[in-house]
């Protein structure tokens, strides 16, 4: 099988037109305003810290590798590797730098899931760094008390009420403590430098700002950090410094995570959430938060066992609940293992992929939630025997959605939907990022994290330079009718279901690749398509990632990128199999993260890695290695 060492942005753009998309003593932080230099950079001048480098989607070499959606962030990870850190340190360095350069999708105010391959023990472990709902959360918290109806999703997402307990810093500290080689202080240094020196904003940054403009305008601290004095997006080429976030990272470096979870930063977060300071006359923010300092003190990131399925001789590992990625990708792979996708016509293979996705999403919505609060039949969802009872529902015509969930409890038998009603489908924010890292010792990290919507809730913590999340809108807003079971209703301390969950695949105990993505509920489909493109259709991993995508989440139509939507293959799927498609479009496309900004990494053996980022989507990502080689 031939593997491509690289793919140019131009080639990737052309490729998408033809390829199949099958895949206590603490210091105080001051409230110093950030520096905005509105003058654009001279032609050809890179942002501060980039040393004239340009983003490249693929890099091959030794000594370690990093891929993310931003050049400065990837360079931060390479810096950690070059100074003796391992892949875990590089992931933390990259994530903290993303909080500076792309604050709309990353930073200390959010959370995520980390999947780690430990080369010394040949073991895959995961860290659950998902945000908790504050203790005061109730099942009806997103219901209008006057009407008894669920709040509008967009309206609820703008409210401090939607902010969960920030868990990013706890994840970083847990990962470094248990598996890192450096220290939190060392891993934060590259991000501190970028925040102090600043970076030049680009067109993508400007459009991200525009997508969240009313929310940012509603908070004086957000206006001061991310907008002009007139409350408008910064001009392209502006130099954006964030001294408040630099100081926040310095304080975390000095005092550790307790500065947040039992110190002044935590107090500032609670104050901002529960008593938001808003711009006079704004109408966006109406429901204050319900977080307490005790919610922060009791938060812990947890090391969990991964999910595991076998597929085409690979051991595929991912996140267990409250992530739904591992169970849903795993179930879909089990269903698809009954077909020889690589030997079939492309339309047939894609039809089977869409129907396997439709069925596994039905089971996801019906059964997956926070396992500390609800019973999740994980072993059943990942059972090949259960998958067989779902596979046999796939005939020659697309099923009608919403399909009902199956019965993932033994004995597994029959070929019918086991329940009469489909579970409610949760709305989920699209705005996420994924980081992949590797080191010279062979450790690998795949880390998906977010603050949810572009800009989270839109609220910057005054004096600390980062935005808060609005992740609690990933819960269902109201119980299903007639008392049907719903595993994803809010509760105090509960984590909302998530689709974040990258995969690491091994063959014979040796790492082969890692894939992770953004895009809300379509994360699962993006990972699944890339994996099938690579494993079954034998595309190179860069080509598999670049190919156009289509996502079926147990909905009436599948959401397709424009190049797929207009393809002859889509027309064939409609005429031959009855599949229906909706074109993915939006006011900020291609910044709209559907179907998901992705990153991947391939272990080439002999200490060589191929690091892969998006070539085009969201302006393209950045893949780097410590020592490039052919």
Tell me how crowded residue 335 is: count the other CB atoms within 10 A of its CB.
26
d(CA 237, CA 258): 37
Instruction: Give the number of residues written for the chain.
Output: 630
Which residue, 29, 197, 181, is CA-closest to 92? 181
Which residue, 469, 455, 487, is CA-closest to 222? 455
d(CA 170, CA 166): 8
Which residue, 444, 428, 424, is CA-closest to 436? 444
d(CA 613, CA 596): 12
Do 95 and 448 touch, CB atoms closer than 8 A?
no
Residue with tokens 């509960």, as numbered in its chain: 494
CA distance readout (Å), 551 to 66, 146, 554, 561 = 27, 37, 9, 9
Phi and psi torsions of 137, nearest 5°: -65, 145
d(CA 462, CA 221): 5
Do 3 and 600 touch, CB atoms closer than 8 A?
no
CA distance readout (Å), 237 to 71, 299, 567 = 15, 39, 37
Token digits of residue 98 = 């993303």
DSSP 8-state assignment for residue 147: T
Q: Which 3 state secondary structure label does DSSP give 45?
A: coil
Annotated catalytic, 553?
Answer: no
Is the link from the previous residue into 402 a cis peptide, with omega within 30 of 0?
yes
Give me the catalytic one of 171, 432, 448, 450. 432
Does the CA dihedral 555-556-562-567 come out positive or negative?
positive
Per-residue burial over 555-574, b = 16 or more CB atoms within 10 Å of its CB, e = otherwise: beebbbbebbbebebbebbe
Measure the N-to-C terminal CA separation of the chain; round to a whole number of Å. Answer: 18
Q: Which residues belong to the active site?
A: 432
């Amino acid at each position: 099988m031939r593997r491509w060492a690289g793919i140019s942005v131009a080639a990737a753009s052309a490729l998408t037109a033809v390829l199949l998309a099958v895949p206590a003593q603490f210091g105080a932080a001051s409230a110093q305003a950030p520096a905005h230099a509105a003058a654009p950079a001279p032609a050809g001048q890179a942002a501060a810290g980039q040393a004239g480098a340009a983003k490249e989607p693929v890099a091959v070499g030794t000594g370690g590798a990093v891929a993310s959606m931003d050049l400065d962030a990837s360079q931060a990870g390479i810096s950690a590797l070059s100074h003796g850190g391992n892949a875990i340190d590089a992931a933390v360095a990259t994530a903290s730098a993303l909080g500076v350069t792309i604050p709309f999708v990353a930073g200390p105010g959010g959370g995520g899931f980390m999947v780690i391959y430990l080369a010394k023990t040949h073991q895959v472990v995961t860290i659950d760094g998902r945000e908790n709902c504050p203790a005061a959360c109730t099942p009806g918290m997103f219901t209008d008390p006057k009407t008894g109806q669920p709040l509008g999703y967009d309206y609820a997402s703008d409210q401090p009420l939607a902010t969960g307990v920030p868990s990013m810093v706890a994840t970083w500290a847990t990962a470094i403590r248990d598996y890192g080689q450096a220290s939190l202080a060392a891993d934060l240094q590259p991000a501190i430098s970028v925040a102090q020196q600043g970076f030049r904003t680009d067109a993508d940054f400007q459009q991200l700002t525009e997508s969240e403009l009313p929310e940012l305008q509603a908070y004086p601290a957000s206006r001061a950090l991310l907008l002009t004095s007139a409350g408008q997006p910064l001009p392209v080429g502006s130099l954006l410094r964030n001294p408040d976030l630099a100081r926040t990272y310095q304080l975390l470096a000095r005092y550790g995570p307790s500065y947040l979870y039992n110190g002044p930063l935590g107090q500032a977060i609670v104050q901002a959430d529960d008593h938001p300071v808003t711009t006079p006359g704004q109408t966006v923010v109406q429901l204050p938060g319900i977080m307490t300092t005790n919610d922060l003190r009791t938060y812990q990131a947890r090391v969990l066992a991964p999910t595991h399925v076998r597929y085409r001789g690979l051991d595929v590992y991912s996140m267990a609940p409250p992530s739904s990625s591992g169970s849903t990708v795993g179930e879909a792979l089990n269903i698809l293992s009954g077909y020889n996708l690589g030997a079939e016509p492309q339309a047939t293979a894609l039809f089977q992929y869409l129907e396997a996705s439709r069925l596994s999403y039905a089971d996801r919505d019906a059964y997956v939630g926070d396992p500390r609060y609800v019973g999740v039949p994980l072993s059943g969802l990942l059972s090949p025997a259960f998958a067989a009872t779902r596979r046999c529902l796939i005939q020659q015509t697309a099923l009608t959605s919403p399909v009902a969930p199956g019965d993932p409890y033994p004995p597994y038998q029959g070929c019918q939907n086991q329940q009469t009603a489909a579970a409610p489908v949760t709305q989920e924010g699209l705005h996420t990022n994924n980081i992949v890292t590797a080191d010279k010792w062979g450790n690998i990290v795949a880390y998906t994290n977010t603050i949810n919507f572009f800009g989270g809730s839109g609220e910057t913590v005054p004096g600390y330079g980062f935005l808060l999340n609005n992740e609690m809108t990933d819960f269902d807003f109201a119980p299903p009718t007639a008392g049907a079971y719903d595993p994803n209703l809010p509760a105090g301390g509960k984590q909302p279901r998530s689709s974040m969950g990258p995969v690491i695949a091994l063959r014979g105990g040796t790492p082969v690749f890692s894939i992770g993505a953004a895009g809300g509920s379509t994360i699962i489909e993006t990972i699944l398509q890339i994996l099938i493109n690579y494993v079954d259709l034998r595309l190179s991993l860069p080509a598999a990632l670049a190919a156009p995508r289509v996502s079926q989440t147990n909905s009436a139509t599948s959401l397709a990128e424009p190049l797929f939507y207009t393809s002859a293959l889509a027309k064939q799927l409609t005429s031959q199999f009855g599949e229906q498609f909706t074109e993915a479009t939006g006011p900020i496309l291609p910044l709209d993260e559907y179907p998901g900004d992705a990153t991947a990494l391939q272990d080439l053996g002999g200490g060589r890695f191929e690091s892969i980022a998006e070539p085009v989507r969201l302006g393209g990502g950045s893949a780097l290695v410590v020592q490039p080689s052919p």
